[in-house]
């Protein structure tokens, strides 16, 4: 066990050292860049700007007097912090330069090359000496000189070049700092102070990490159990949702198929109506004509009957040859009557057939209409099932999102950590439960509280942390309306709640769940849920917030406070219980 701890300590030390080296390198690099690209550059810009107003006059006068020693002394007056080079009028022949006789190495030595020298700014030296500056820098940050509108008259006798010292590499600066970390040089002091501050900070962080390690391990264990439980619930809900979505997809396919069938039937009905319209009219006309002919045939039958009766009476009355003639007429009339009756049977059969055809067309159309109605009823039924499955899927999605939101609450946020610190420091003998599910036995959805404080009596407090800073107030009634936070900038931000429309409804939901579930064990040390257990709810905001009257006096069992009043409020509720 000790070997493992040593290894862990070495790993932490290695990590801290790596972090220290990385952070220190980044900060030192920033100091290096800031020093060379800003401080040194601007200082030299100011120096060059001042020298442009004075140095050409002095050097021109000394050159006219041919005082070489004074020229060198003038150039060396900058202590070689930057380069000054005097050349002839063409700029190709160097007369003198700063630090010429010094034993110290010259960092800008490359500028002594006439080809390189052309890349640097210069002023001309005149006889008589110039009075006005020839070029100036607009400000310390300027990278290029601007020519002035002044004109100096005289013969050009030389040039003076201004050479910036080249930027040292970060590596050279670090080597210089390592060789003399307590030098009074400004940039070295900045390196030293920064590194010391980082070391102190890392030591403090390490100490804080050590003190918080046990709390973190406890939180991690709680979160591990919580994540396992939530992962199982999420998996189950997602499987249930997938089944519902699959069923809904089948319903939608069936509805699509039914719509296609309805379309085909409507098309068939339209086609049948279009085709049968003329046919029906023809059948109706034919039926009417047949009925008319049948009626005429009946009238003829009646005439034949009357004639036969008349001839029969005449036959009885007549004798001889006339009787034979009457019998022939009677036979002929009876024959015609039989023919008429046959025609009548044909007419009746034809009428029946025509009526049957008309009825069949009506029945066929009605049957198609009934099929359309039945299919539409099926569509309505499936649509209702689709809507129900959609609502159920949305409900499951909301539950899954709540589960996932709780899964993501791995560690306490900064405000919750403050509350935990207040509770643990002021109530060391009480049990503090973090992110506890008060609906463990409920399959409909979990409800995770931020904190539950359990005393050794029949008393517990549900604490909900809301890290909104500003004026906390209600948009209407304190219990049923949404709550908002009015910030210092005057912006109104809605205060979100996991359950219900506002934090009061959220905390009340948690407390009601505890009151319903009397067998729920919050901690190993306490069985608090007896019949006379007092369950209170507290909503805590940051100390900078102000609680408006609209939400302050909300309920006997619920309090809305800032974190500065948390201890006093819990003590008050303890006395009331």
Would you state the pLDDT for residue 56? 92
For the beta sheet containing 492-494, the strands, ordered from the edge strand earlier in sequence to the opposite edge, are 492-494, 483-486, 471-474, 546-547
With tokens 């198609």, the residue in question is 368
**Architecture label for domain 414-576:** 3-Layer(aba) Sandwich (3.40)
For 480-496, write each residue's pLDDT tens digit: 888 999 988 888 888 88
Would you state the pLDDT for residue 559? 93
Extract the tokens encoding 74. 């003038």
Q: What are the extents of the domains in the chain?
A: 20-167, 248-403, 414-576
Q: Which stretches of the chain score pLDDT less than 50?
A: 1-2, 410-411, 528
Q: Do domains 20-167 and 248-403 have the same CATH topology?
A: no
Please answer whether residues 119 and 91 qualify as being in contact, where contact means their C-beta atoms are separated by less than 8 angstroms.
Answer: no
Would you state the pLDDT for residue 218? 58
Would you state the pLDDT for residue 545? 92
Neighbours of 460 (CB within 10 A): 25
Neighbours of 431 (CB within 10 A): 17
Question: DSSP readout, 41-74?
Answer: HHHHHHHHHHHHHHHHHHHHHHHHHT-HHHHHHH
**Architecture label for domain 248-403:** Orthogonal Bundle (1.10)
- Write the class of the CATH domain 20-167: alpha beta
Would you state the pLDDT for residue 497? 82
Would you state the pLDDT for residue 226? 61
Would you state the pLDDT for residue 5? 54
């Amino acid at each position: 066990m000790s070997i493992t701890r040593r290894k862990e300590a070495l790993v932490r030390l290695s990590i801290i050292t790596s972090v220290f080296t990385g952070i220190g390198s980044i900060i030192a690099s920033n100091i290096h860049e800031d020093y060379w690209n800003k401080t040194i550059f601007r200082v030299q810009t100011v120096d060059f700007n001042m020298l442009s107003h004075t140095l050409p006059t002095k050097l021109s006068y000394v050159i006219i007097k041919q005082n070489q020693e004074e020229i060198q002394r003038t150039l060396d007056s900058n202590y070689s912090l930057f380069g000054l080079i005097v050349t002839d009028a063409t700029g190709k022949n160097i007369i003198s330069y700063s630090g010429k006789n010094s034993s110290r190495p010259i960092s800008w030595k490359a500028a002594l090359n006439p080809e390189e020298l052309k890349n640097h700014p210069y002023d001309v030296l005149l006889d008589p000496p110039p009075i006005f500056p020839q070029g100036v820098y607009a400000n310390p940050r300027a990278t290029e000189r601007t020519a002035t509108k002044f004109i100096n008259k005289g013969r050009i006798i030389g040039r003076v070049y201004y050479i910036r010292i080249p930027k040292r590499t970060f590596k050279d600066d670090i080597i210089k700092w390592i060789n003399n970390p307590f030098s009074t040089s400004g940039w070295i002091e900045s390196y030293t102070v920064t590194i010391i501050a980082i070391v102190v900070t890392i030591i403090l962080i390490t100490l804080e990490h050590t003190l918080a390690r046990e709390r973190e391990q406890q939180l991690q264990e709680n979160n591990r159990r919580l994540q396992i439980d939530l992962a199982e619930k999420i998996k189950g809900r997602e499987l249930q949702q997938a089944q519902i979505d699959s069923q809904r997809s089948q319903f939608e396919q069936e509805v699509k198929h039914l719509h296609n069938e309805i379309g085909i039937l409507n098309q068939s009905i339209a086609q049948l109506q279009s085709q049968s319209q003329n046919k029906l009219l023809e059948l109706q006309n034919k039926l009417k004509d047949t009925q008319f002919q049948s009626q005429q045939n009946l009238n003829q039958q009646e005439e034949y009957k009357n004639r036969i009766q008349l001839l029969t009476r005449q036959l009885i009355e007549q004798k001889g040859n006339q009787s034979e003639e009457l019998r022939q007429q009677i036979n002929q009339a009876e024959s015609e009557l039989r023919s008429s009756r046959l025609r009548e049977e044909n007419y009746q059969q034809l009428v029946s057939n025509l009526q049957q055809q008309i009825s069949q067309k009506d029945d066929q159309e009605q049957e198609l209409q009934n099929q359309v109605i039945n299919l539409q009823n099926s569509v309505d039924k499936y649509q209702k099932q689709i809507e129900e499955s959609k609502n159920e899927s949305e409900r499951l999605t909301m539950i899954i999102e709540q589960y996932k939101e709780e899964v993501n609450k791995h560690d306490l946020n900064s405000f919750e950590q403050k509350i935990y610190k207040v509770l643990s420091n002021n109530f060391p003998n009480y049990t503090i439960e973090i992110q506890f599910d008060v609906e463990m036995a409920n399959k409909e959805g979990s409800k995770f509280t931020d904190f539950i404080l359990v005393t050794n009596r029949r008393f517990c407090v549900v604490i909900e942390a809301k890290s909104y800073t500003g004026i906390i107030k209600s948009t209407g009634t304190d219990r049923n309306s949404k709550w908002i936070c009015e910030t210092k900038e005057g912006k109104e931000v809605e205060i979100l709640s996991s359950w219900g429309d506002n934090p009061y409804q959220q905390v009340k939901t948690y407390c009601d769940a505890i009151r319903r579930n009397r067998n729920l064990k919050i901690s190993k040390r306490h069985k608090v849920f007896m019949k006379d257990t007092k369950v209170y709810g507290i909503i805590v905001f940051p100390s900078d917030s102000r609680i408006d009257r609209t939400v302050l006096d909300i309920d006997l069992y619920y309090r809305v406070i800032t974190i500065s009043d948390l201890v006093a409020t819990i003590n008050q509720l303890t006395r009331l219980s």
